[in-house]
Structure 1
Amino acid sequence: MNKDQLDGLVALKLVAENKSFKKAAEILNISTPAISRIISNLERRMGVILLTRTTRNVNPTEAGITFLNKAGPAIDEIIDAQSSVRTLGNEPSGLLRINAPVIFYQHYLKDYVREFLKKYPKVQLEIFSDDQAVDIFSQGFDAGIRVDDIIAKDLIALKLFGPIDFITVASPKYIKEFGSPSHPKELLDHNCILLRFGSGTSVYDKWEFEDKKKEFTVRVNGNLILNNSEHIRQAALSHSGIIYIEKGSVINDLERGKLKVVLEEYKTQSTGFYLYYPHKIHISPALRAFINFFKTELK
């Protein structure tokens, strides 16, 4: 294979992902005309048009889509390998900011964090606990941790833990006083503790269930709204109502009998929690070390 055939593949992938020559040029730290020439030379060598250009948009052609679907994962592997090797000569250091759900540090992450910081003592790790589904990168975070169904497709995602169950639970005292629902629709007769995402107007009141592999939702209501999952757990422990929560965050409470699962046969499941971060040619040595640490630990 002629070396020139490989030139421009990374540039093509970045332009297609960002739908912009300018954004791709900024990532590669070259000029916009330069990246345009790189793509034009690649198209000439391949004998097909890979991108359609208009004054407003840049989109891959059918040939471009076909090529990127087949070659894209290999290009990502090349970029990842280059980044991994590049960081070997640089001891990871500096601030690494990770945005994660409120329950995640206590119930999943704390033991791994201790080992990571022992291995990389020059890294200052900030775990910002947040249940909101927002653009964390605009707020200066290097990476985030979320369940699979809210991660944008244009991000790289590394599975950390999973699959995970989402269940409804209540305290034995609440169940004794108000009874246990036998079907999710009976939640309408119960006090359900609700989660508000941040300070916005969105309240999670459409609880998701599954019956014989068929998914459905029930719109619940209640007299208590809280804005983070740990507070919701505490409210259930204080007998205030039924909550909908990820099982791992209440597993100790279930084992000790402080909480009980209701509607277990209708529980839903997510593939898991993922570490996610943007497509970048260069990521910080600290983030690269964090990624490689979990790849090794989770084997």
Structure 2
Amino acid sequence: MKREDASDLLAFLAVARERSFTRAAAKLGMTQSALSQIIRSLEDRIGLRLLNRTTRSVTPTQAGERLFLSIGPKFNEMDAVLAALSELRERPAGTIRLTATEYAATEILLPALRKILPKYPEIHVEVIIDYGLTNIVAQQVDAGIRPGELVAKDMIAVRVSPDLRMAVIGSPSYFADRKRPRTPQDLTDHNCLNLRLPTHGGSLYAWEFEKNGREVNVRVEGQLVFNSAGLLLEGALKGFGLAYLTEGHVQPYVSRGQLVRVLSDWCPPFSGYHLYYPSRRQVSPAFSLIVDALRFRGQVG
């Protein structure tokens, strides 16, 4: 069937249903004269009159009634198929790729996913653990989770956690024969566990402190270097040295006495984790569900 034939048949069906050129033209979004011309062209091609026209009414001829009863259900069936496809498109489904730090993935992302994945089995999520500022566009990642102060200004950012604090921790066995540091400068006398970041040429992460408006960055030294926060925590628990980790990451161990926290007065709050993604991203129903589940709704600070 030619495209113009299909369009003309749809125009005929509209007139036959409405029994009016005026109402059919309004539904089709065209002028009455244009619709009349389409019907005349269709009748000329078929060689049969399809509609009886009077000043008061429009009714199908015998040929028009036969055509109406024949093709009407077929077009209705096609409409139903298209509607079903539309529903399928709107149903949350597909694979979402997210990048996050270990702590953000464990403490923020997984609890949120637990709320929605059992309800939507057609949603699949791939989590990529990364401490660098992943170029989510270049790496074909849908979104990332990082502290808000690290998110680029051209990204859409959605807060997914309260404000954060860092913590310097060590095991009781580590402090058994060592003095606890009272200032960041005292860390030079300690064995510190370093984190190597993939950004900035793979340099070691400088520990950041602030007190009374005074900012201090310390490049600590020690025998062990990791590229995983989980291993930093494990190293601290085993007494290898001091580690610098997110407060939430270590608080359970501090509460149980497995770790000792120091320099807490030098670790003020900073911007919490945010989900970020490009402003031009086409948001799917599955992605919208994940964003809504992650959105932080508590008090900041």
Specify if TM > 0.5.
yes
CA drift of 1:199 comes to: 8.7
The aligned length equals 214
Instruction: State the match for 2:96 in structure 1.
Output: 96
> Is structure 2 residue 139 aligned with structure 1 residue 139?
yes
Q: Partners in 2 of 1:213 and 1:120 — Cα distance?
A: 48
Normalised TM-score (structure 2): 0.66
> Is structure 2 residue 255 aligned with structure 1 residue 233?
no
Preserved CA contact (<8 Å) 2:160 2:296 = no
CA drift of 1:101 comes to: 0.2
Structure 1 residues without counterparts, runs of 5 or longer: 1-85
SS of the residue 1:290 aligns to: helix
SS of the residue 1:186 aligns to: helix
CA drift of 1:253 comes to: 1.0
| Distance 1:199-1:208 versus aligned 2 partners, 3 A rule | closer
Q: Partners in 1 of 2:278 and 2:149 — Cα distance?
A: 17
Preserved CA contact (<8 Å) 1:93 1:286 = yes
CA drift of 1:258 comes to: 0.8
> Is structure 2 residue 174 aligned with structure 1 residue 170?
no
CA displacement, residues 198-256 of structure 1 (integer Å, 9 cap, x when unaligned): 39743334211111132221221112110011111111011011111111111211111
Matches within 5 A, 1:148-297: 148-198=148-198, 201-280=201-280, 282-295=282-295
SS of the residue 2:192 aligns to: coil
Preserved CA contact (<8 Å) 1:187 1:220 = yes
Q: Partners in 2 of 1:267 and 1:199 — Cα distance?
A: 23
Q: Partners in 1 of 2:95 and 2:298 — Cα distance?
A: 23
Out of 232-241 and 113-122, give the one that drifted further. Answer: 113-122
Q: Partners in 2 of 1:155 and 1:199 — Cα distance?
A: 19
Preserved CA contact (<8 Å) 2:133 2:199 = no
Higher Cα radius of gyration: 2
Normalised TM-score (structure 1): 0.66
SS of the residue 1:269 aligns to: coil
Preserved CA contact (<8 Å) 2:163 2:269 = yes
SS of the residue 1:277 aligns to: strand
Preserved CA contact (<8 Å) 2:101 2:146 = yes
Q: Partners in 2 of 1:108 and 1:142 — Cα distance?
A: 17
Q: Partners in 2 of 1:167 and 1:244 — Cα distance?
A: 6
CA drift of 1:117 comes to: 0.6
Preserved CA contact (<8 Å) 1:205 1:221 = no
Matches within 5 A, 1:74-93: 90-93=90-93
Percent identity reads 31
> Is structure 2 residue 123 aligned with structure 1 residue 114?
no
Q: Partners in 2 of 1:200 and 1:228 — Cα distance?
A: 17
Preserved CA contact (<8 Å) 2:184 2:216 = no
Preserved CA contact (<8 Å) 1:192 1:222 = yes
Q: Partners in 2 of 1:156 and 1:204 — Cα distance?
A: 29
Q: Which amino acid aligns with 1:146?
A: R
Q: Which amino acid aligns with 1:226?
A: F
Preserved CA contact (<8 Å) 1:131 1:229 = no
Matches within 5 A, 1:2-17: none
CA drift of 1:192 comes to: 0.9
